């Protein structure tokens, strides 16, 4: 059985199509190291409606294939619908008031597809790998579900390093 692989270069092209469809929203991509600094940057620039993927989230995306998009003062349902309209992308946000939008390549829904870390896009922090190593009792899917829910402080501590 041959499995398909997909990586950053292919998926980032799809994300650029989504960002184009989401104009006039301002998109901050890897322009700040954390949630707080992303929010500060937008405030400093007087931007009220925006999306952001901070540096740690970009690293997580390069490593895992899952991209967490922060947002402020946007119609989250419209953003999710718009991203989902791009062929090859999936997006969801379970709790728009306080959760990030999760975006991933459709191919990753198949057990026959594997995310590859590309030589030109190696993550600096390798946080996903650290999370897997620190939680050997959890499967990647359980960790992924924990990251999405962040329902308890203990789970939040597992799911993020910032």
> What DSSP assignment string belongs to 50-77?
EEEE-HHHHHHHHHHSEEEEEEESS-HH
35: its two tokens: 């949630």
147 found inside a domain: no
127 found inside a domain: no
159 found inside a domain: no
149 found inside a domain: no
Q: What is the pLDDT of residue 37?
A: 87
Reading the chain (162 residues) residue by residue, the pLDDT tens digits are 558 999 999 999 999 999 999 998 999 998 888 888 888 899 999 999 999 998 888 988 998 899 999 998 899 999 999 999 999 999 999 888 888 999 999 999 998 999 998 888 887 766 666 676 777 787 666 766 666 554 444 544 444 443
Cα–Cα distance between 44 and 39 in angstroms, integer?
9
- Strand segments, DSSP code E, in 18-133 are 26-29, 50-53, 66-72, 89-92, 101-105, 113-116
38 found inside a domain: yes
Cα–Cα distance between 72 and 32 in angstroms, integer?
15
Q: What is the pLDDT of residue 140?
A: 63
Q: What is the pLDDT of residue 18?
A: 97
146 found inside a domain: no
Domain that holds residue 79: 4-118
21 found inside a domain: yes
The SS3 assignment for 135 reads coil
Q: What is the pLDDT of residue 123?
A: 73
145 found inside a domain: no
Tally of domains within the chain:
1
């Amino acid at each position: 059985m041959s499995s398909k692989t997909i990586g950053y270069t292919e998926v980032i092209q799809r994300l650029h199509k989504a960002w184009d469809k989401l104009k006039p929203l301002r998109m901050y991509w890897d322009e700040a190291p954390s949630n707080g600094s992303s929010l500060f940057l937008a405030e400093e620039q007087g931007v009220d409606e925006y999306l952001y993927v901070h540096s740690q989230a970009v690293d997580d995306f390069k490593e895992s294939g899952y991209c967490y998009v922060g947002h402020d003062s946007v119609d989250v349902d419209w953003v999710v619908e718009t991203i989902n309209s791009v062929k090859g992308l999936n997006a969801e946000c379970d709790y728009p008031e306080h959760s990030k939008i999760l975006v991933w390549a459709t191919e990753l829904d198949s057990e026959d597809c594997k995310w590859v870390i590309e030589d030109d896009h190696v993550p600096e922090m390798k946080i996903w790998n650290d999370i897997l190593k620190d939680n050997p009792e959890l499967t990647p899917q359980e960790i992924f579900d924990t990251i999405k829910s962040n329902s308890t402080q203990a789970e939040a501590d597992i799911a993020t390093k910032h």
